[in-house]
Chains A and B, each alone.
Chain A
């Protein structure tokens, strides 16, 4: 990294650390939520944008992360780091599991099987009430990290910032490595990738597993933020939000995922008060992006040459 680049990163970090000193509780909540959705959309983008696989399991990974954290903390009395680790592992395992059919089946089967998987999980949250308290929802206790309580909204924001920062930094490195190249190679031309000795199946499994890890950590953060989770938070409207963030931000773009999360999470609460309005607005945005702006906001910015991102996808 050049000296200028390092200075820019340092400045950005300071900017990101400061907000809790200046904003009220509501804005703080929105900022936390944005960090959650940055994780979610980024993880989804690995599967949808980088691997080019149509899968509907994202809300399922999200829910698994949230429930695993809540159960490990509240039911098993695990310390937070262990519970978080468990959430990530469960998410990764779920990613691995749903990708298995992707290996030998045609593309649309994957979409269907992941849709079924997500609904099956939601049914399980409702019916495994001994573990999840069913529809009435499961509370998430306050946490502490190695004895230090995360008591204030401020502390929680910094925790989220650290989690998101580490995960995204790692993922960015991953996508810039040979693994990222392999992913794009498999997406671009599977036969040619195999001809170079890459096992397409292994590459896809890797993408799904990592996606599961990232999204589940996002889900765990979501559970912490809300303090109580219930099955209906992880259904089709959650999935629509994930789709919209990724597509509107920009398929296959890291920066796009961040932009999409900021834009859609900051969307006025008003939308949620009128039934159906959120669905209408988001789906119209989605249609507009598909028709007129296939690379999303990131693509638009790229065209204006305001910034350049090293993408393997355009």
Chain B
């Protein structure tokens, strides 16, 4: 059974259909790309899956559990993480604090413990900081952990956002145009990282404009156009699809 299933999803904004009847299924351990021209409904699809947009009809299931009507944070607790097109880092926090918010999620401590610093909660806090530092070290961000995020480059912010999303080892990772603003080498690094994630069993869903990246890393590709599915298949199948070439790849 697929880890994420979307069935007949439609979304409308003020009477205008943004998505109509979109279905897809993503298995654990695969990279699934969503491409399409501007305004095709790619980000809307991500937002609907993550709970930020309420669909007019259709169902969304994660590991067989219906999440269509859940709030974003409740969906996130099902093991789903996402990044944002315009960046979702907290600029006024330090790099370490950004990561800590992800780590905190697993902490168990009582109010009184937090208020008056009982031993167990002190230890919890110390453990969280140690874990966050380890995560930063693995992501190659060890030197900048106490810098404010808004003082960093766009590329670094992107890396931080993705690292933060990975803290609690999500089962499903949604990435909204992660390659925007990255250099050629950074893109290759990103591609390798996504493949490695899929290897570990994560279902990676990627909305992306950069066609080369998509074709290189994806197991399957969904092409959206005007809110509808134009084609779906392996990168080779999609590349050979006449309608896709006509609508999208041909003009690119």
Q: Quick check: do A and B touch in the complex, using CB within 8 A?
A: yes
A interface list, Cβ under 8 A from B: 169-171, 173-174, 177-179, 181-182, 184-185, 188-189, 191-200, 312-314
Q: Is the CB of B90 within 8 A of A188?
A: yes
B interface list, Cβ under 8 A from A: 50-52, 71-74, 76-77, 81-84, 88-93, 97, 100-102, 104-105, 107, 109, 114-117, 121, 125, 128, 148, 164-165, 168
Minimal beta-carbon separation of A208 from chain B (angstroms): 15
Minimal beta-carbon separation of A151 from chain B (angstroms): 29
Q: Is the CB of A169 within 8 A of B90?
A: no
Q: How far is the CA of A118 from the CA of B122 in the complex (A)?
A: 38
Chain B hits for A174, CB < 8 A: 114-115
Q: Is the CB of A177 within 8 A of B125?
A: yes
Q: How far is the CA of A169 from the CA of B114 in the complex (A)?
A: 11
Main secondary structure of the interface of A (DSSP, over half): helix
- Knowing A191-B84, A314-B92 touch, does A196 contact B101 (C-beta < 8 A)? yes
Q: Is the CB of A191 within 8 A of B72?
A: yes
Minimal beta-carbon separation of A25 from chain B (angstroms): 34
Chain B hits for A313, CB < 8 A: 92
Q: Is the CB of A185 within 8 A of B101?
A: yes
Minimal beta-carbon separation of A175 from chain B (angstroms): 10
Minimal beta-carbon separation of B26 from chain A (angstroms): 18
Q: How far is the CA of A314 from the CA of B97 in the complex (A)?
A: 14
Q: Is the CB of A194 within 8 A of B92?
A: no
Some 6 contacts from A to B, beta carbons below 8 A apart, are A169-B116, A170-B115, A173-B114, A181-B104, A196-B76, A314-B148
The 3 closest A-B pairs by CB, nearest first: A192-B88, A170-B115, A178-B104
Chain A hits for B89, CB < 8 A: 189, 192
Name the residue on A nearest B50 (C-beta). Answer: A195
10 more contacts with CB within 8 A, not counting A189-B90, A194-B51, A196-B102, are: A170-B115, A171-B115, A178-B109, A182-B104, A191-B72, A191-B88, A195-B72, A195-B76, A195-B84, A314-B92
Q: How far is the CA of A188 from the CA of B148 in the complex (A)?
A: 13
Q: Is the CB of A194 within 8 A of B72?
A: yes
Minimal beta-carbon separation of B216 from chain A (angstroms): 26
Name the residue on A nearest B78 (C-beta). Answer: A197
Q: How far is the CA of A283 from the CA of B168 in the complex (A)?
A: 48
Name the residue on A nearest B76 (C-beta). Answer: A197
Q: How far is the CA of A195 from the CA of B49 in the complex (A)?
A: 12
Minimal beta-carbon separation of A99 from chain B (angstroms): 17
Minimal beta-carbon separation of B96 from chain A (angstroms): 10
Minimal beta-carbon separation of A103 from chain B (angstroms): 11
Q: How far is the CA of A189 from the CA of B90 in the complex (A)?
A: 7
Chain A hits for B116, CB < 8 A: 169-170, 173
Name the residue on A nearest B149 (C-beta). Answer: A188
Q: How far is the CA of A285 from the CA of B88 in the complex (A)?
A: 35
Chain A hits for B125, CB < 8 A: 177-178
Name the residue on A nearest B47 (C-beta). Answer: A191
Partner of B107, one of A178, A194, A195: A178
